[in-house]
Each structure stands twice: as structure tokens, then as C-alpha cells.
Amino acid sequence: MTRNDTTPIDTTGTESDTTSAADGPALATVTRNLRERLSGIVGDERAVSPVIGFVLMFSIVIIAFTLYQVDVVPAQNAKAEFTHSQNVEEQLSELEDAIDRVSASGVSRSVTVSTGLQYPDRALAINPGTPSGSLRTSNPRSVDINNLETGDGHWDGGTFESRHLVYDANYNEYRNEPRIVIENGLSFNQFDSGYIVRSTDIISGTEIDLQLINGSSSGEYQESGDSVNVPLKSQSTSTEYLNVSSAGGTPTIELDTTLSEQAWKDVLGTDFSGADGTKRYAKFGGYTGSNPATVTVELESNQNYDFRMTEVGFRSVEKSPHYLTREDRQNRSVGSGETETVVVSARDEFGNPVSGVEVTLAGTTAPGTVTPSSAITNENGRATFTYEQTRQGAGEVEFEIAGATNARERVTYDINQHRTEGISIFSSNEVYENVGSITRMRIKNATPVIVDGCSFNATRYNNSSDFNVSDCNTTVPTLNVDFQVSPDSGNDYRGHVVLQDQDRNGEFGDGDKEISLVKFTEVKPGNNKVLAEGELDAQAVKDIFKDPVGTDLLNASNYYRGRLDIAPPDQTELDSGKIKVSNADLIVNNIRGRAVVELD
């Protein structure tokens, strides 16, 4: 008979377990050790102190760590952020300097700005997210130049677009960080409570310097991160300043701005005299609107200014020529067979030179040739031509930008008879056409002759007797010139010059028995009018026979004081303007001897 062998269940758990044979001994040992330790603690109160101490120490560590995380870490990070803010300000100052250099040189530059900040590494504490500032340009802003123009009238201001450059920090702890703004050459720190102006280089005395950032798409910029690279590209730059003055009315410059009204008053002042009595040439003229506002800079109406407006961007842009202008005086004097260099420059809407522009000869009425017929402007915006005078006379030479469609793209030079060496006069009844304007008449390099007679008389000032030299002796060295100036319009002028060395010693200007008479007459129909007559002083007589000195017959200082009769009596100077003519012919009616006449 088979018996079922079963093992009774030990309800105390000391004799039997449900664990596997492999895990049983190890688990029992662990259980037994745990019972012993617990019974030891319960039975011995001395073991409580280390546990409480451990808990207290652990709590202190946690509290200290918490305080470090809450107080020390933010304080250290705030200090790091403040230092970073100072560094960024220095880097933005370098950026301003770079804008200034690119504006003058036209050479591209780049500047790195550390917009982001890395906090110090920490073994246990936790840093907040890395702050990252941003550098960006604003929307397009207006710059209005009113009632200012250059002397040639080609540049007269207008409305232009610019952008402001803005840096915004994004710190976690430093709460007083400024927004830094650069506006057309002026920069400032903007705080919640006010402004600190960093630079005020827009106006200094009579010098105006506006530095614009391109208002088109090439002027858009927005970057952030650990650091950003700012590429500055030349778009309209120059070292030259335009000479400008009022075009009628009060000249003003109107600028869109985010700087406060009071700050602008502090920068410009509110009148043309400073608090210390110094002269100002610009003042605060008004403030309207907001976000942005518009500030008006008022200039003086009767003052010339040196004006420069440049433009930079962040991508390369080619500027188109806006007008053509002369680089030298308009009136040029050239003698037959001689050459004269004439230079024109192509300029953009800011008044700055533009290179690579084709300039062509549009036409000429002058008696000469121009070479080349076209030229390309150089890096300074200049195109150079050579004019050669092939015969006597005067006229105009006109140049234009290739494909010109309006008057501002054309410019003219006036060509007159050569003045430097003068006109050699040695034959009677000679006519020299189109000698141009005459405001000075210098006789030089003269040679006297022995003549058989003269026809001239004049009256000494305050002396009733005449200087009558109509009976020239055949043995007296004489220079006798009878000439006429005939302008295109108005009356003619007649001039007589008689020099005689009556002591026959061969020296003119020694004051010994000499005649040195000059007479100017305005030729009027039926009523000639004597303008001036007098006696040249000794030095003036000597200079007539010298080269290149000469004597200006229209300068009263070359006459003996008290021996010059001026008509009408209210005239006090022979060169007061009574004999100034333009576009004149010079007619030599009669000459005895030879001389060179130099006209200006």
C-alpha cells in the first residue's frame, strides 16, 4: 500500500520557505543579519546620535547648496554679465570706428561682436540658459537735407533712407543693461531711466558728417549667438567734403531718431551761442512724433559748411552716377598751340565720387581739339581730358555722362585766350578775337623804338597844363600803344599808353625827364567819356620792360599818388570795375615799339 509523504507547513517560517534551494541560504543570512541589527538599535539608545548627526549634516549640506544655487550663482553670473556688457560696449566702439574708416577709405572691413556669454563651469551648481544678445538694424529711417546746395547747383540735398544699428542684450541676472544704438554717426546707451550719449560726431563746428547705413535690402542685418561677424561694405564713401551753403531759406537736417528730445537739446544746444559764449553753427530746431521721433537740426543761413554724407552696408552694392561736375575753375585760358588739362568727376546722389563711369565729349565750340573723346572715371571718380588750342579765339567744351538724359549729367568748361604769356603786340591794325573777360591788363617785356612822332595828350591831376607829346622827337626812345577793347555788348573802351625816355640815357623808370602817361576812355556815340588818366610811377615803368613782372594798367597803385585823375570824382580806384568786360575783342589801332599784353 502506497503512502503519501507530505511535509507539514511551518507557519512560523523558521523551518520551511517557498524560495528556491539556490536562493534560500543567502536570503536567510541577510534576513537574520537584519533582525540582529534592528534588535541592537532598539536595545541600545547610544546608536541614535550618529543617525541624527548624519541627518543634520545632510540637511546643512542641502541648505548650503540651495543658498549657493539661489544667491551665489546668480551674483557671480550677474558679475560675469556686467563684465560682458562692458566688453560688448568696447567692441561696438570698434564697430563705430570701422564704420568711420570704411566711410572714408571705401575699403571693406569686418568686426566681431561677442553677443553671447558663457558662464563659469560649475561642478555641482546649475547655470541658467546661456544668454544671447542680438545685433540688428532697424526699419528704414528718413534723413532730409533741406535748403543746402553746392556752389555749382548740381547737389541740393533731398530725402535719403538710412537704418539704425541696435544691440540688445538678453541677460538672466544683470537688469540694468543698456540698449546700444548707432544713428547716422551718433551713438548712445538707452536705459529704462534715460540715455547716455557715447559719441556726437555728426556736427563739429562747420563740419557736418553723416554716416548712413543702407536703407535698402543690402542694409538689413540681424544676428545673434555666441559671437557675430559684422561685414562692412563700402557703398558711397569719400574723404572729400562738399562746400555747401543756404539755397534760400533756413537750412535744416531732419533725422528720424529714438534719442529723447532733452538728449538732443543737450547735444546740439538751443541757440547759436554756447553757455560759455563760444560760437555754435548748428542748434536744436524741433522734435516731433515718437517711435521714431524726428529731430530738426537748424543751420545758419549765411554760413558755408563742409558737408559729407556716406553710406555703408553689409552687402556690396554699386552706386550709379547722379551728376557730373568740374574739378577746377570753369574759365580756362589757353594760347594757340598750347594745351590745357580739364578734369570732371562723376558723383552719386550723396555727392561722393563714382568710379568706372564713362564720360564723353558732348561737343565743343572752342577753336581747338579735345582728347580723348571718352574716358572712364578712376577710383577717385575723375576723368581727365586734354584740350589743345589750334588757333586764337574762345568757346565752350561740354562733357557728359554716357547716355545722359538730363542737364545735371553734363558740364561745360569755357575756353578763353591764353593769359599766362599774353598776346604779343607789334603791328598796328591787329585784331585779337574772343580774348574773353578782362579785369586786368598787364604790359610786360616791352621794347621801345625811335619814332618820328606821337599823338597823345593828357592832363596831370590838379594841374591845368597838359602833357602834350604830339611832337615826339625822332631821337627819343618811345613806346606808344593805342588799343581798343570791344565787348560783345555795351560800349568800347579806348586805351593810350606813351612812355618816353626824354633824357635819352636808355633807362626807363629813372624818373629823369620821362613821360609815362596812360589814358582810358569809354567810347560813347557822340560823347566819349574819360574814365582815367595819369602818370605811372617809376617802378611801374621799369616793370613794363621786364619779363615776367610787367605792370597792370588797371591797378591804381601803379600810378603816382596825386598824378592820377579819376572820372567821375566818386571813383577812388582805377580797378573799381569800370573797365571790366567779358567776351571781348582786343584791337590794336597803332603801336610804336613792341610789347606783350597779358589779360585776365
Is residue 191 a part of any domain in this protein? Answer: yes
Model confidence band, residue 410 (pLDDT cutoffs 50, 70, 90): very high
Instruction: Please indicate, yes or no, if residue 15 is contained in any of the structural domains.
Output: no
* 487 and 538 housed in the same domain: yes
In tens, the pLDDT along 62-90 reads 887 787 777 888 888 889 999 999 999 99
Residues 6 or more apart whose CB falls under 8 angstroms from that of 463 comprise none
Of 459, 461, 468, 465, the C-alpha closest to 563 is 461
Please give the pLDDT value at position 452: 55
Give the residue carrying C-alpha cell 536562493. 23
**How many domains would you assign to the chain?**
3
Give the cell for residue 272: 547759436
- Would residue 336 count as lying in a domain? yes
**Domain boundaries, position 404:** 323-417
pLDDT of residue 27: 40
| Top-confidence residue, 559 or 257 | 257
Q: What percent of the chain has pLDDT over 70?
A: 81
One domain, residues 487 and 390 = no
Residue 512, pLDDT score: 66
What average pLDDT does range 173-200 have in this prediction?
92
Query: What pLDDT score does 16 carry?
Result: 40
Query: Domain for residue 19, yes or no?
Result: no
Domain boundary among 368, 392, 417: 417
Domain stop point among 313, 343, 361 = 313
Residue 337 DSSP one-character state:
T
**Least confident segment among 55-59, 191-195, 227-231, 563-567:** 563-567
Q: Please give the DSSP secondary-structure letter assigned to residue 70.
A: I
pLDDT at 243 > cutoff 80: yes
C-alpha cell, 148 = 543746402
Label residue 495 by pLDDT band (50, 70, 90). Answer: confident
If phi over 0 gives left and psi between -120 and 50 gives alpha, with beta otherwise, what is residue 554? alpha
261 and 327: one domain?
no
Q: Are residues 442 and 545 in the same domain?
A: yes
Q: How many residues does the chain have?
A: 600
What's the confidence (pLDDT) of residue 36?
A: 60
Query: In this structure, what C-alpha cell is assigned to residue 355?
Result: 568710379
Instruction: Report whether 449 contacts 592 (CB < 8 A).
Output: yes
Are 204 and 186 found together in one domain?
yes
Calculate the average pLDDT of the chain. 81
- 429 and 411 in a common domain: no
Asked whether the predicted pLDDT for residue 165 surpasses 80, the reply is yes
Measured CA to CA, the distance from residue 91 to residue 99 in angstroms comes to 12
Q: For residue 6, is pLDDT > 50?
A: no
What pLDDT, on a 0 to 100 scale, did the predictor assign at position 560?
78
Residue 10 forms part of a structural domain: no
Looking at the fold, whether 371 and 461 belong to one and the same domain comes out as: no
pLDDT tens-digit series, residues 262-319: 999 999 999 998 777 788 999 999 999 988 999 999 999 989 999 999 999 998 888 8
Q: In 366-515, where does DSSP find H-type helix?
A: none
89 and 209 in a single domain? The answer is yes
Mean pLDDT of 321-338: 84
Mean pLDDT value of segment 386-397 = 85
Q: Are 310 and 303 in contact (CB under 8 A)?
A: no
Residue 351 reports pLDDT greater than 70: yes
The amino acid at 158: G
388 and 497 in a common domain: no
pLDDT tens by residue, 504-531: 777 887 766 677 888 888 887 777 877 7
CATH classification of the domain holding 364: 2.60.40.10
How many beta carbons lie within 10 A of that of residue 32, not counting itself? 10
User: Do 173 and 139 sit in the same domain of this protein?
Assistant: yes
Q: What Å distances lie between residue 351 and 221, 238, 321, CA to CA?
A: 26, 9, 9
Res. 4 pLDDT band, cuts 50 70 90: very low
Q: What's the gap between Cα 228 and its chain centre?
A: 30
**The predicted structure's pLDDT at residue 386:** 96
198 domain-assigned: yes
Judge if pTM exceeds 0.85: no
Domain membership of residue 69 (yes or no) is: no
pLDDT given for residue 575 in this prediction: 46
* Segment 100-111, tens digit of pLDDT: 999 999 999 999
User: 520 and 402, same structural domain?
Assistant: no
The verdict on 294 and 251 lying in the same domain is yes
The answer to the question of residue 46 being in a domain is no
Q: Is the pLDDT of residue 15 over 50?
A: no
Query: What value does the mean pLDDT take over residues 9-15?
Result: 40
Does pLDDT of 487 surpass 90? no
Q: Where a domain ends, among 417, 440, 468? A: 417
Residue 287 dihedral angles phi and psi, to the nearest 5°: -155, 120
